[in-house]
Chain A
Amino acid sequence: MNSREKILQAVKLAQPEVLPLPTALETPTVYSDPVVKFTEVAQAVGSSVIEVNSLEAIEDHLKEVYLPELQKKWQASGKLRVVSTSVGFENFAEQIDSSDIDPHTFQDVEVAIMKADLGVAENSALWVPETIIRVLPFICQHLILLVDKKTIVSNMHQAYERMGLGQDDYGAFIAGPSKTADIEQSLVLGAHGPRSLWIYLIGDVE
């Protein structure tokens, strides 16, 4: 008997009679304004949130506020490598459209711009499906996520209900910049992944 059969047989012998699965939660908390809650929680976990009404507004904000602030705060000098898997930022970002690129070549990316499918108000998590380069939202120094305001749900139950079984080969809920408190419980942003996360909440596009 191989280990697979051995384990399965041992488990079969040991497990009790089948117990029922519970039903879904009756009334999980929902928020009257999920966007407000989302913003509050996102800021509490170290993200920055900007509400905008058009892609042009994002571009303007990125050029006029985000990049200058980034350079000042993180003392980033010289030309920053900015990449995007989302179309519309060709003016100042390298457009990534081929998954055949070796992921290691993204190790010098300063800023990555990507889209999230939905957001969750209770914990500010954004669902980021695999977008061309799996490692991109982790390997960049700073991450920018764009999300449609209308996709913000209240809680994780609603999120999975909307996502169903999913079509993505890989995907991650991302809530805030990478962080650690392993040294004496002192919170430090920027453990291995991005040092900062900016979220653009896109409202009704005019």
Chain B
Amino acid sequence: MQANEKKHHTLADHFNADEARVDWHDKTLWFVRTKRDRLTHDLLEWEELRDTASQIKSHVLSNLSQYLEEFEQKASANGVVVHWAADAEEHNNIVFNLLKKQGIDRMVKSKSMLTEECHLNDYLAKQGIEVIDSDLGERIVQLAKEMPSHIVLPCIHKKKEEIGDLFHEHLGTEAGVSDPQILTETARQHLRDVFITRKAALTGVNFAIAETGEMVICTNEGNADMGAHLSNIHIASMGIEKIIPKRAHLGVFLRLLTRSATGQPITTYSSHFKKPRKGQEMHVILVDNGRSRQLGRTNFRNSLKCIRCGACMNTCPVYRRSGGHSYHNAVSGPIGSILAPNLDMKEFSDLPFASTLCGSCSNVCPVKIDIHDQLYKWRQELVKAGYTDKKKTVAMKLMAATLSSPTKFKLAGKLGRLTLKYAPFTVNNGLNPWYKGREMPAPPKESFSEWYANRGKDKKI
């Protein structure tokens, strides 16, 4: 794949080829945003909750090494085996070795964006291990051989007819069936069989509590629990930033998470895993994979407060009209655009520019991450580091020179007005990338200076 083909603007172009679908995608996500509004406006202390959550997270990030050690100690005492992974490769290796030791070659997995970030499924497939995703949306994109396009609503980009076709091909439903009730029932039967027969289950972690060593996992479907409680070995993968100090802090975060995510007062299940079931092995893998580096970047540290609710995606005018896949990263949308450049500045240099900087993301963020400010700051870092389009840099320099000289500015203004008036085609053409998706304004007859100098000349006294 050529470099440009993988960039946000090109991928967004593909998505925008079907205008009706873009409208539908836009409206569906806005519907989720309005559900969020209804639930949050009901709660008088909403803003106080956001402030509190943000401060708890600031505190955690400032004392993370100690909390990680406390969590390790408590979890170990509970009989949970704690592993540390510096990067994605090490994480994947740990999972593989745990399965190999037990002679297991099939695993069921509930939603974990971290394992998407680590490309665990591909890695295990190469080792001959089959992984089945059990969250309905994730199972659907897995059957379609795609990535989730949204961290909470993995197949929000898919129409039910397309899902019906997938189920017809893979799960044997009748051709043409697209009723969500029937499709969900089919997936229920198919995945129940998976839960009953798999000896290993992998889950993500929403919150890990330092003072008790507990891991809290939130789902609506009950898939994390079905997998974990029927398995001989439960592996939980978590980023090191998921720690919270006290159990009582769950009161704050569980009130914020689902109201922000889907406009529900809480997820159906908020499961607290402390000790393994009798006869079961429970493991947790603490993964860094660039998080300690992001912690050291003062400007971007706060991005680690994210609790993965997806509210910034649902509200984002660019995300809603370009689709999650246009971000070519496991976590898409505004938050993904400030997390991704930390993983690979070059590969994700386009993402901080995929924003209007309108600030809506920061306004809905339950932990008050200054997302749009960080997008703006990443742009500066990326230009400085030389990862942006050189043509734009040249144009910017030319503009800076023009704006800093009154003579050049006046001349440029005059030329610009003449060009737009008599030869608009020289600007409005395929060779000018800036013009793409934009309309030039009608040029004024004269500049402000000209008008000022001429004012009153034709005034009758």
Taking a contact as CB atoms closer than 8 A, the residue among B55, B154, B274 that contacts A169 in the complex is B274
In the complex, which residues 152-206 of chain A have their Cβ closer than 8 Å to any Cβ of chain B? 155-157, 159-161, 163-166, 168-186, 188, 190-194
- Given the contacts A13-B296, A27-B45, A107-B196, A182 and B62 also touching, CB distance less than 8 Å: no
* Closest 6 A/B residue pairs (Cβ): A193-B222, A14-B296, A123-B265, A191-B221, A135-B229, A182-B137
CB distance from B113 to the nearest CB of A (A): 15
Could you write out 23 A-B pairs with CB less than 8 Å apart?
A7-B240, A11-B292, A14-B293, A15-B62, A17-B62, A21-B55, A21-B56, A22-B52, A22-B56, A27-B45, A41-B265, A103-B230, A157-B251, A170-B273, A170-B277, A175-B267, A175-B268, A178-B222, A178-B268, A180-B221, A182-B135, A183-B163, A193-B221
Known: A8-B68, A15-B65, A180-B136. A123 touches B266 (CB 8 A): yes
Contact A165 B180 (CB under 8 A): no
Contacts of A89 on B, CB cut-off 8 Å?
none
The docked-state distance in angstroms from the alpha carbon of A123 to that of B250 is 14
- For the complex, is A65 an interface residue (Cβ under 8 Å from B)? no
Contact residue among A160, A173, A190 (Cβ-Cβ distance under 8 Å from B269): A173
Cβ contact within 8 Å between B270 and A185: no
A residues in contact (CB < 8 Å) with B: 2-4, 6-8, 10-22, 24-29, 41, 45, 99-100, 103-104, 107, 120, 122-125, 134-135, 138-139, 155-157, 159-161, 163-166, 168-186, 188, 190-194
Question: Do B222 and A21 have beta carbons less than 8 Å apart?
Answer: no
Q: How large is the interface on B (under 10, 10 to 19, 20 to 34, 35 or more residues)?
A: 35 or more
Q: How far is the CA of A181 from the CA of B150 in the complex (A)?
A: 14
B262 within 8 Å of A (CB atoms): yes
Considering the chains assembled together, what is the distance between the CA atoms of A6 and B286 in angstroms?
12
The CA-CA distance from A142 to B188 in the complex, in Å, is 14
C-alpha spacing A107/B264, complex, angstroms: 29
User: How many whole Å from B195's CB to the nearest CB in chain A?
Assistant: 7
Closest A residue to B78 using CB positions: A169
B69 contacts A8, C-beta separation under 8 Å: yes
B64 touches A15 (CB 8 A): yes
Interface residues of B (CB under 8 A from A): 28, 31-32, 43-45, 48-49, 51-52, 55-56, 58-59, 61-65, 68-69, 84-86, 90, 134-137, 140, 153-156, 159-160, 163, 180-181, 183-185, 188, 191-192, 195-196, 211-212, 220-223, 225-226, 229-230, 240, 245, 247-248, 250-252, 254-255, 262, 264-275, 277-278, 286, 288, 292-293, 295-296, 298, 301
- Chain B proximity of A135: nearest CB distance (Å): 4
A-B contact count (CB 8 A): 247
* Pairwise interchain contact B295-A15, C-beta atoms closer than 8 A: yes
Q: Apart from A124-B265, A191-B221, what are 17 other A-B pairs with CB-CB below 8 Å? A: A3-B85, A7-B86, A8-B68, A10-B296, A11-B292, A20-B59, A25-B252, A157-B248, A160-B251, A163-B247, A168-B272, A172-B269, A173-B254, A178-B268, A181-B220, A190-B185, A191-B184
Which of A7, A18, A24, A178 contacts B63 (CB under 8 A)? A18
Alpha-carbon distance between A41 and B259 when the two chains are bound, in angstroms: 14
Residues of B within 8 A of A100 (CB): 278
Residue of B nearest to A195 (CB): B188
Known: A17-B62, A26-B48. A172 touches B184 (CB 8 A): no
Known: A6-B86, A29-B43. A184 touches B28 (CB 8 A): yes
Complex CA distance for A169 and B248, rounded to whole angstroms:
17
Are A193 and B226 in touch, CB under 8 angstroms? yes
A165 touches B247 (CB 8 A): yes
Complexed CA–CA distance, A24 and B51 (Å): 11
Q: How far is the CA of A190 from the CA of B185 in the complex (A)?
A: 8
Q: In whole angstroms, what is the CA distance A125 to B43 when docked?
A: 17
A37 and B262 CA atoms in complex are apart in Å by 21
The reply to whether B250 and A156 contact each other, CB–CB distance below 8 Å, is: yes
